[in-house]
Chain A
Amino acid sequence: MVVMKMKFPFQKRVKLAQGLWLLSWCATVAGATTFSLGCLLKTELRRRSEVMDNSDIHIVPNTLMIVGLASLGINYFASKICQDALDAGRFPRWKNFLKPYFAVSCFFTVLMLLAVIMSYAMKGSLESSLKAGLRNGIRFYKDTDTPGRCFQKQNIDRLQMEFQCCGNNDFRDWFEVQWISNRYLDFSSKEVKDRIKSNVDGRYLVDGVPFSCCNPSSPRPCIQYHLTNNSAHYNYDYQTEELNIYLRGCREALVNYYMGLMNTIGVGVLSVFLLQGSVLVSLRFLQTSMEAVAGEENTEIETEGYLLEKGVKETIMEYLDPVLTFLLLKNQVEEGTTGETPATT
């Protein structure tokens, strides 16, 4: 039982070949676009790689780049094939090429769809990576004299200013770490000694935030220190003050930014996927309708085109058989195969 049989008179075949040629060049441009979108996403992820703990999310742009490059090749061959399709003398040489070509093309087209699905599925992984990375960044903020960590302060400051956020979940994360280095603390002062004695680890904790948390939209000059103490500042109420510092956490800000970027890219990649799919379907119809013409004297007869000769399951088995026998052949004992083959055939 053939899947999606359609009749193709000569004129329709000609129109199909011409339309497919145009479509395959559009799809080539679309493939190049996919590649560049992958590069864009990769660049953006690498810019903030210091606040990410692992690189798991990089699989999305890597897949997009691979698929973009592959689709350039796929569509190049598609245009070549449909150029030769209407010429009965040149079409047969593509015969053996087409079966593996369709297998490879379907694989990469499905991979494109997978990349879009992954970009949504990996949101959780991105969040936990950012959570760990930002926690380290905040912890090592004061270590500007330690090699390997000396740029954490600058990174976190610029990040908070650019994304208009403060801390990991919110600004209170800064209350829990010592972000002022011991080099700048006067240990003979009473205030410093009190604060260090007030907690178990002997850390200098303040209810204050770095300057990069300050919100320029605030009508009053920024209040950074003694944030929880209403009497420390004139006309200040800790509970109701909203504009003084950024209330959003940097993890949320970065996740929103990257999800927005991947959603936009996802929409583009989905349309490229549809375009690529239509190229492959049209090519299959062209191939099957032209194969029926081969050997006939009158090349202008009406033929039938179809998507799959057998049903979906049987076609999948047909494609998987060579792969499976190739894999199983390594494990099979040779005497066993020679004994079995006369029985099966």
Chain B
Amino acid sequence: MAVLKMKFTQQRRVRLAQGLWLLSWLAVTCGAFIFSLGVYIKIELLRRDEVMENKEIHCVPNLLMMVGLASIGANWVASRVCQDSLDASRFPRWKVLLLLWFAVAALLCCLLLTVVILSYALQGRLEESLKVGLRNGIRFYKDTDVPGRCFQKETIDRLQMEFRCCGNNNFKDWFEVQWVSNRYLDFTSQEVKDRIRSNVDGRYLLDGVPFSCCNPASPRPCLQRHLTDSRAHYNYEYQSEELNLYSRGCRQALTDYYMSLMNSTGPGVLSVILIQISVLLSMRYLQTAVEGAMALESPEGESEGYILEKGVKETYADMKAKAVELLKFAQVDPASDGEGGEEGEKEADATEKAATPTPAS
């Protein structure tokens, strides 16, 4: 009992071939779209490379680029097969390649689905990576004279201004590190000496933030120093002041940005999966219908197309038997002389069983 059997007249076969040719070119453009999407996401991730600690999230765009290229190739092959399908002399040469093509196309659909799942699943890893990267960035903010770290200040400043965020979790992260370099501290001043003595590590800590945390939407000029001291500024209340600095943390801002980027690509990728599956199914129908027509006495007659010749369970059992037989062929060779007779019969049986499905698959 074949799965999803359909009758195909010559007209219908021709229409199917033409429709599939168009569909496969559409799928080629979709593959190019997936590739460019992968390139775009990769570039966006590389731009903020300095505040990310590891590159695990890069597997999403890498996978998208690979799948895009592979699907361009596979769908181009599909269009060539369609062109040859109605020509009885040229179609048979695609026989073996089609098995491989079906496997590749199914693999591509699975990979695309994996990408969609990964883009949600890796959110936690991305947050971790950003947490560590930003913590380092804030710690090395003052080291503008240390080679390898001299750009951290500019990177963090531009990041906070562009994403409208301050600090790692919030602006209080700046209170816990010394972000003013010792080169610019007057160690003879009483204030500096007091602050340095007030903590164990001898760091110059203050309740202030860099200028890049300032919010332009605030109605008053930005207050950067003595933030926790309500008396240090006129008409200022630390607890209720909301607009003075950015209230969001940069980790939250960056995670939101990248998640929204990858979520917005979700519907596009899902529709590409649907297109690829429809190409796969149409190709299967075309293959079975054309092969059925070639086996008929009059090639222009009606033939049947199906997805699987037998039911799902039987096809699975057949494939298992074939795989086992291939393994046997690979293993048995040296010992085949002595037991050749018995084994030869068994092999003959196995090859007969294997031979019956082959004309259809």
Contact = CB atoms under 8 A, between A and B. Distances in A.
Interface of A: 144-145, 150, 153-154, 157-158, 161, 179-181, 183-186, 189, 210-212, 214, 216-217, 219-222, 224, 233-235
Contact of B144 (A179, A219, A222): A219
Given A161-B216, A214-B211, A234 B222 contact: no
Nearest to A209: B221
Contact of A216 (B161, B179, B180): B161
Given A161-B161, A185-B234, A179 B211 contact: no
Majority secondary structure of chain A interface residues (helix, strand, loop or mixed): loop
Contacts of B153: 216, 219
B322 to A, nearest CB: 57
B145 A211 contact: no
Nearest to A141: B221
B154 to A, nearest CB: 5
A216 B185 contact: no
A158 B186 CA distance: 33
B37 interface: no
Interface residues of B, number: 30
A153 B216 contact: yes
Contacts of A157: 216
Interface in B143-191: 144-145, 150, 153-154, 157-158, 161, 179-181, 183-186, 189
Interface of B: 144-145, 150, 153-154, 157-158, 161, 179-181, 183-186, 189, 210-212, 214, 216-217, 219-222, 224, 233-235
Contacts of A179: 221
Given A214-B211, A217-B154, 20 more contacts: A145-B219, A157-B216, A179-B221, A180-B220, A184-B220, A184-B233, A184-B235, A186-B234, A189-B234, A210-B221, A211-B211, A216-B158, A216-B161, A219-B181, A221-B179, A221-B184, A224-B211, A234-B184, A234-B189, A235-B186
B109 to A, nearest CB: 39
A153 to B, nearest CB: 7
A210 B210 CA distance: 13
A158 B217 CA distance: 9
Contacts of B181: 219-220
Nearest to B185: A234
Nearest to B192: A234
23 contacts: A153-B219, A157-B216, A161-B161, A180-B220, A180-B221, A181-B219, A181-B220, A183-B220, A184-B220, A186-B234, A186-B235, A210-B221, A211-B222, A211-B224, A219-B145, A220-B183, A220-B184, A221-B210, A222-B210, A222-B211, A234-B185, A234-B189, A235-B183
A250 to B, nearest CB: 15
B48 to A, nearest CB: 15
Majority secondary structure of chain B interface residues (helix, strand, loop or mixed): loop
A214 B222 CA distance: 12
A213 B87 CA distance: 73
Contacts of B161: 161, 216
Q: Give the interface centre of A150, A211, A234 by most chain B CB atoms within 10 Å.
A: A211
Contacts of B184: 220-221, 233-235
5 tightest CB-CB pairs across the interface, nearest first?
A157-B216, A216-B157, A144-B219, A186-B234, A219-B144
A183 B218 CA distance: 13
Contacts of B221: 179-180, 184, 210-211
A179 B233 CA distance: 16
Contacts of B211: 211, 214, 221-222, 224
Contacts of B180: 221
B235 A183 contact: yes
A185 B221 CA distance: 11
A341 to B, nearest CB: 70
Given A180-B221, A184-B220, A220-B184, A211 B235 contact: no
A154 B210 CA distance: 19
B216 A234 contact: no
A181 B217 CA distance: 15
B232 to A, nearest CB: 11
Nearest to A214: B211
Contacts of B154: 216-217
Nearest to A192: B234
Contact of A212 (B145, B158, B216): B216
Contacts of B179: 221
